[in-house]
A and B are shown apart, each in its own frame.
Chain A
């Protein structure tokens, strides 16, 4: 069971499934792998586990009716039974008037999504990673709570029109919260990689420890508009939410921030500061992701689709102008345009300055480690609310002066990216590359006592 199927092995199974088909069209998606995790709190491991799973999904289509069945056993009898089940479900399914015929063979970009180092993770590695994080905390009288999750898997897709894709990928995600014993200070760090050899839980924990110690006895500032420096862990959620809202159909239908007064969309309009450039590229070495949607890798942003469309290098925002939006295949066909798939991850271009450089160049401002509990307030303007958390500091004359109490914000990434002051060097967070951002007039609307 404990096996990552090779391209050939996966193809053999998919071909076998397709040979059983009596449907007009059939697609197969096959994936499997191992996930492991370790969780700790109060300087002690609370849960840990490892599991292997595999799944095969068959979609059968008759006319415009489709049905999907899944199975986790791959013997011939199980495969055939699943094909029959999918066909049975399809025959009984209502017609989907927006059904699009399956794609034929595609060419997918290759990307180094798999790292042997991550595939070699074992329970001892996880225990050591947790120990490296807990030990320095307990020695300093601090309290660590953290979580590490790794995955090693493969994904293959195929259909009766000759499409085939295979990718294997690894990933590791780590997050750590360090709190002072009196509960008055809290710090945080988060890391994600394809290749676990780039991860040091000790180094990440040291940053969280520094922030915890430095954030004790925070002062209260009046809510209002401030210049902020958002670390990538802070800005990522707002940027992701914006990128998730770039669907063409919603914009055309008048229910998106990209919908225009009087009808039409704002595609091609300059909506942001001219230094804003956001694009996606599955081959980017820092966030390598599969050449097809759902194939794993760096992009855990959630896009990508799963209909076999290739992931390409696409510019979404160029010099502040909305350059592309993404489409379902149905909507693109209706509009007579290319069906650009939503991205698996994105890259926001930045500068060369470090976070420290950005702080040095700030007369008065606030450094934000991360935001928390971000929720949409108004989908029309992409107004979001949320709070700062785990390390918020006041900057004066280029230096961090003192920790401040957490704020609630009400802000839109659209307004935020118009109020851009400066950008630092992008780093990986959440499967994307994001620079630290210096933003003026960021709206903090109330204070929070939370630490």
Chain B
């Protein structure tokens, strides 16, 4: 559908972490340009009305128009050098219609009355052409127009207003502290995204939203040349739906964990984490190789978030369950017949998993989704039982519901919106429990922190996860660092082995900034909250090899 530039992460020192490329949308512009205001609301409404009228007169029964200005600033450094700074802007309009009961979509960067009218015409023509091979007409869940409304991520400091030099100074400090503390190499990066989205629909909604996201991250590498070994430790930050204030490193947002480890809630101290990372990467060089076997796992929120993402978030996407992603990401084990029994034990009774696009500071949170539906919170798994999926306006009828869940998203004005994962989070335990107390109760276990290697099958049964840091637990105490750890399990078995969840004071979010889905692929950003959680008797393998 479109041409995109991709920054190959491997060249930026993020390869092992992401395994993919970072999409850069639009045109490279001077940094000041990112602060210029886009079109005003009155202009956008006038332009949107041109589209709504043009499609209606050509027979469309439904239309939505998204006028979007998407801004990105990415900074990449290594050791003492700035490798790259990209400032990008993408501006255009996407028009989606239903005509003859069929979807049609067209987009243009020509945001003028003429450009929009032509684009609207094309969208209707595509819908009509596709309707000839359409088997079932679209059933769109009703959505009452919300009128003229606005929503803005409640940021304190707009990251785009912070001078580039200040950001470089921070990254240089991160790098120099890491090197000073013994790292052989370090790469550090800052990602900032601002989506200025105007949505209008034939339902009578005119929604203006200003969405901000931030992701600070790094990778520290320790090398033992004599032994021919190297180990890395990635940042344990989380991407957030926040402004630059996330980097304030407030003491009140730190959560202390065993062995002097620190967890970060809604404020991150990047320099402190880099110093810890440098020391820990060196410790990893001599850590004991794990004996394979069954262990009780104590999983930190900065690790568990990805396990939730892969083993609960993706399998409960209704479009996947129905087969729309069969040729790419796959389908799902969590089929409708299992859900219909109202007794499918996805997990143990402790497991309550909620979907939302409303939780403060998270990546998924907006006022309205990309088809004009007000965002909300709903249960996916209640007391261990599968109770719902993630569905949008044209699929929610399959669940017998008549209102969308509000989780439709497009990554740009020229991408067609489709179902994307909302925040999917594990509710904290109700009883007071700290991670210290949890570990005290474990006889033979492993405490795992951070996002590592991850892989799961196309129906989301069998998975294998690594991490950043592994500590052996013996008789209620951490006895040392482990290496070569990965755990393998089956989704249902794993969530049924969940026995204990720390309370709300330990709750934090983890996030995925560039989650991919669809063909052609689109990215989205999503958070996953949890408190430290214990899973009993999980199979751990040793990943050490000699080549």
Contact = CB atoms under 8 A, between A and B. Distances in A.
Interface of A: 31, 33, 35, 37, 39, 41-49, 51, 53, 55, 57, 68-72, 85, 88-89, 92-94, 96-98, 123, 127, 131, 143, 145-147, 149, 175-177, 179, 183, 244, 253-255, 257, 259-263, 271, 302, 372-383, 385-387, 389, 406, 408, 410, 412, 414-415, 445-451
Contact of B457 (A53, A143, A147, A373): A373
Given A33-B3, A49-B1, A123 B129 contact: yes
B455 A262 contact: no
Given A85-B30, A377-B453, A383-B545, A254 B519 contact: no
16 contacts: A41-B327, A51-B414, A55-B3, A70-B27, A93-B85, A149-B519, A255-B184, A372-B458, A373-B458, A378-B544, A383-B545, A386-B455, A387-B462, A406-B457, A410-B486, A449-B462
Contacts, number: 222
B547 A39 contact: no
A146 B327 contact: yes
A254 B3 contact: no
A254 B416 CA distance: 44
Which 10 pairs from chain A and chain B are nearest by CB?
A261-B228, A448-B462, A145-B326, A450-B459, A450-B457, A145-B327, A254-B223, A177-B327, A381-B545, A255-B230
Contacts of A149: 519-520
A88 B227 CA distance: 47
> Most B CB atoms within 10 A — which of A98, A387, A389?
A387
B523 to A, nearest CB: 17
A44 B459 contact: no
Given A143-B323, A373-B456, A378-B543, A449 B333 contact: yes
A69 B28 contact: yes
Given A379-B16, A408-B462, A446-B462, A147 B519 contact: yes
Given A33-B3, A179-B323, A179-B331, 8 more contacts: A53-B3, A255-B221, A302-B8, A375-B455, A381-B547, A408-B457, A448-B461, A450-B333
B23 interface: no
B185 interface: yes
Interface of B: 1-3, 8, 10, 15-16, 19, 21, 27-31, 80-83, 85, 87, 103, 105-107, 109, 126, 129-130, 133-135, 164, 168, 184-185, 221, 223-230, 232, 322-328, 330-331, 333, 335, 414, 416, 453-462, 464, 466, 484, 486, 488, 490, 519-520, 539, 541, 543-547
A254 B331 CA distance: 41
A426 B521 CA distance: 29
B1 A51 contact: yes
B172 to A, nearest CB: 9
Contact of A88 (B21, B30, B107, B543): B30
Contact of A57 (B28, B326, B416): B28
Contacts of A98: 81
Contacts of B414: 51
A415 B547 contact: yes
Contacts of A254: 184, 223-225, 228, 230
